[in-house]
Amino acid sequence: MSREKVKISSFTQLDAWKEGHALVLSVYKATRTFPRDELFALVNQMRRCVVSITSNIAEGFSR
**Residue 24 pLDDT grade (very low, low, confident, very high; cuts 50, 70, 90):** very high
> pLDDT of 28-43, one tens digit each?
999 999 998 888 889 9
How far apart, in whole angstroms, are the C-alpha atoms of residue 5 and residue 32? 41
How far apart, in whole angstroms, are the C-alpha atoms of residue 33 and residue 19? 22
**Residue 44 pLDDT grade (very low, low, confident, very high; cuts 50, 70, 90):** very high
Q: pLDDT exceeding 70 applies to what percent of the chain? A: 97
How far apart, in whole angstroms, are the C-alpha atoms of residue 63 and residue 31? 32
